[in-house]
C-alpha cells in the first residue's frame, strides 16, 4: 500500500473518530448531564421540605455526589470535543486544553505559524498534542509544560516538552503503564506521511515532536 493510500485511510479513520466523539459528546450533554441536573433540582426541592437535620445532611451529601458526577462528565465532554478547536484554531485549542486539564501547571503555548494548517492536519496534530499533554500531566508528574507550533520543511511541527520524571525510550516497543499512547503516536504520524520523535531520559523530562506535511506525500517518498 502506497503512503498516499495509507494517509487517505488515516484521514477517513480520523474523521470517523471525530464524528463518534461528537456523537458521544452530544449524548453526554443532552442526556446524561441533563438527567443528573434534573435529579439534583428535585433533590433541592426535597431539601426545602425537610426539617430533620440528619436527613438534610444526607441530602447535602447526595447533592455533592451528583455535582461530582456532573463535573466529571463535563470534563469528559471537554476531552471529547474541546470548544475552542473549531472556533479559534489549533494553538488556542491547545492552550485552552492545558488550562482546563490542569489549571495549576506552569505552561506556555508558542504559535509561530503564519496560518492554520489544513483541517485534516490540524485535527491530527491536536489529538497527538492532547496525547502528549495527557502523558505529561497524568504520568510524568510535570510542573512545567511548553508547546511550540512552527512551520518546518513545508509542513507543520508540534513540539511538547515537559519537566517530568522522564522514562527510558528504549522501552517504547514494549507496553508500559503510562506510555501506551506514545507508540500509537509514532504510527499515527507515519501513516500521515510525517514523523514523531520522542526524546526522554529518566529524571530528565520528555520532549515529543511531531511533523506532518501540508499535503499528501507522493508515492515512494519517505518522511524525514
pLDDT digits (tens, 9 = 90+) for 25-68: 788 878 888 999 999 999 999 999 999 999 999 999 999 999 99
- How many domains does the chain fold into? 2
Same domain for 92 and 178, yes or no, is yes
The last residue of one of the domains, among 80, 108, 142, is 80
Determine the length of the chain. Answer: 224
Asked whether residue 116 is assigned to any structural domain, the reply reads: yes
Where is the domain boundary, 55, 80, 105?
A: 80
Q: What is the pLDDT of residue 78?
A: 76
**Rounded average pLDDT over 86-101:** 87
Give exposure, 98-134, as e/b (b: 16+ Cβ within 10 Å).
beebbeebebebeeeeeeebeebbbbbbbbbbbbbbb
Label residue 24 by pLDDT band (50, 70, 90): confident
Q: Are residues 102 and 174 in the same domain?
A: yes
pLDDT of 171 > 60? The answer is yes
pLDDT of residue 147: 97
Whole domain around residue 13: which residue ranges? Answer: 3-80
pLDDT score recorded for residue 174: 56
pLDDT at 219: 36
Same domain, 208 and 163: yes
Amino acid at each position: 500500500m502506497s503512503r498516499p493510500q495509507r494517509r487517505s485511510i488515516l484521514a477517513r479513520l480520523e474523521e470517523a473518530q471525530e464524528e463518534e466523539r461528537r456523537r458521544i459528546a452530544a449524548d453526554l450533554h443532552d442526556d446524561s448531564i441533563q438527567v443528573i441536573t434534573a435529579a439534583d433540582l428535585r433533590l433541592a426541592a426535597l431539601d426545602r421540605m425537610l426539617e430533620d437535620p440528619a436527613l438534610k445532611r444526607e441530602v447535602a451529601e447526595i447533592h455533592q455526589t451528583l455535582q461530582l458526577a456532573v463535573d466529571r462528565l463535563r470534563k469528559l465532554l471537554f476531552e471529547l470535543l474541546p470548544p475552542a478547536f473549531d472556533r479559534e484554531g489549533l494553538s488556542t485549542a491547545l492552550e485552552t486544553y492545558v488550562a482546563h486539564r490542569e489549571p495549576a501547571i506552569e505552561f506556555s503555548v508558542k504559535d509561530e505559524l503564519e496560518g492554520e494548517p489544513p483541517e485534516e492536519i490540524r485535527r491530527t496534530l491536536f489529538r497527538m498534542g492532547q496525547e502528549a499533554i495527557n502523558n505529561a500531566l497524568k504520568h510524568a508528574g510535570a510542573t512545567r509544560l511548553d508547546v511550540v507550533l512552527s512551520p518546518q520543511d513545508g509542513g507543520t511541527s508540534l513540539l511538547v516538552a515537559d519537566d517530568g520524571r522522564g522514562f527510558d525510550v528504549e522501552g517504547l516497543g514494549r507496553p508500559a503503564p503510562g506510555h501506551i499512547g506514545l507508540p500509537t503516536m509514532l504510527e499515527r504520524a507515519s501513516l500521515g506521511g510525517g514523523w514523531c520523535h520522542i526524546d526522554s531520559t529518566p529524571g530528565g523530562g520528555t520532549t515529543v515532536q511531531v511533523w506532518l506535511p501540508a499535503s499528501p506525500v507522493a508515492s515512494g517518498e519517505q518522511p524525514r
